[in-house]
Structure 1
Amino acid sequence: MAAASKDKLVRLVYDALQAASCPLVEGLYLQDTDSMLQLLCTPSQHRTDILAWICSSINPHFATSKSMSQRSKDSDAVTKEMALLGQELMLCKAGDLDLIRGDASPYRQLQFLEELLTLVPGCRKSAGHKMDAEMLLSEVFSAENLPHLSQMLEPTFNPWPAHIKALHKGTKSSHKTSREEAADVAALLKETQSALEQLQSECDFLKEAQSPDVFSPSSLRVTACDLQQLMATFSHVYETDLRAYCSRDPPSLSTETAVFQRVHQLLLDCNTELDMLNEVSEASASMGEEVNMLQTQPRYWRRGEKHSLPDQLAELTRRSKDFLSLMATTSDHHHE
């Protein structure tokens, strides 16, 4: 079972390299798994170059680093640099130099290469398209679909029913009548539209209401003047007609404008406060969406896959508990 799994894994890694258009495997055309295993899991300069190409595809700055420029002079520096990149990707430790050199077990090397290749842009997508095409061809040329394929290659068309033939072989006069009817309908629609437009122009209540003007000090001043005129008219009527029935003095309107300025300022402050409350509401909704996305969408890498923040915290909590339990067990054995 382990050998079969290893053969499947080595083919998967080799196909992923070809799908990613790795220049170091072009033209090899390896068919058996032993040759693929020899290429990918045996220490050699070719294998080191393939691993360096994968690291450069994941991190473009890796290709321009000092260690890469001195590859021929100091191969250990390149090995340590690739191990550090693997540690940053949480795929290995900085001290796993045997894994980088190719001295580790083949299965562990293949797993490491597979996880690295999943981070190469376009690698998984290209391999997926290739696999989809192969599955489609296998499905089309399967034994149960061969009759359908033959039918598609030599299609047959049954004769039309009698009533369809009668409609298809209609006289030219009928076609002419249909065209005339269509023209009459179009003329009627145009006439109806003209009548509706004329009716709308004659009716004021069908017109669209104009947007109200923005509040301004001038409008408040006009309103105050109208109020003063109304009060003056009322005072005149009061003096001439109502004075005999009431002993009070007529109401007076102050000529000072400070009260209108204060009202206008209060209205402006109210509008500003409403705008601030609206912005706070929008910011709160946006923050809620961001928190929801942070809780639900996978954004953090772990072992070649993205996970959400709660999953990452749960994993860190589990690992912390395991570590504390291990430390407690070690301490108990030490005291014994």
Structure 2
Amino acid sequence: MAVCLESTVGLEAALASSLFYKLKELQCPPVEGLFLTEPESMQELLCTPSIHRLDILEWICARISPLLQGQFSTLKESQTDVKIKEMARLGFQLMICQAEDLDLIKGLATPQRQLSFMNELVDVIRCPDCATGEAPSCSFEETCMSRVQSTEELLKEMFSSPHFQSVRNPECNPWPSDIKPLLLGGEPLQKRNTLAAKTKDAHLEEYQKMLRETSETLDELKEECSFLGSDALPDSSTVVQALKLAVSDFLLLTSTFSQIYEDEFKAHCSRPAPQISDCGPLFQSVHVSLGICSKELQAIAQFSETSDRIVSAVHSRQVEKEAWGGSSMMTLSSKIEQLRKKYEHFHTALHG
């Protein structure tokens, strides 16, 4: 266990060293002024939560997506959480992490996972179209499309390969008896055979139990449906006889309809419906009645429309104000009331 842990730590330090020199080659500003020689120091820089590490991630993400560079420049130093969420969203768009993997951006994940994530981001920058120049010559969308196309070509090549088909359908010949213990993890062959025999016996007992339960269920169903047997009593076969009679009648009706369709209906199904003559007295009387009814309906519709217009006109005259030969505006009812008062005043003055 100690040897395995030591090898894992050494591998992580080697990955950190490789990533550090990649950033040096890309002229990453947060790394330019650092002179580290020990892989452990490089691992501590890239895998320990710090502002310097976030600056490195921010520069990598800005190189991949220039839009983020403009967005980061507008944020304040206290808005670190916003930057972390945007970098996680970029990793999700590149399909190398989840949008909720904020611990991965903060540096709280395992060193191996952090180094793998940062290596994949750097590989996006180091693509042939984006590796040179101060500003990337290809956009973020073009980079993603390039990665998708290369992955698609790789999958096509893999699925079309005959080796892949042989892996899916392997032809594994029996191994020699002296090789089997080595393939089975070094355990004795007798112990393996004993374990396999016990497992087989357990499965056989389970299958036998299932067969017994199924057989009992079938016996119960057979007792309930005794009238379906060949040795059923005459009075218990009434249901079967009725079912046979219904099926026979249905078959007869179906065959009769099929025959009539072939002889009478089929000729009319492939051509338009026959024209019915309107010369008969019955059709003429129906036509006249329908014409009268249509005219009455039109008259009722015109009457309703005229009534609505009259009501609308009367309502507008009662509500809307108009000028009645003077400068004042008033409604029709107000004008009538004014004339009535003038007439009463005139009549009182005349007979007073």
Q: Same fold (TM over 0.5)?
A: no
Higher relative contact order (CA 8 A, sep 6+): 1
State the TM-score, normalized to the length of structure 2.
0.37
State the TM-score, normalized to the length of structure 1.
0.38
Answer with 1 or 2: which has the greater Rg. 2
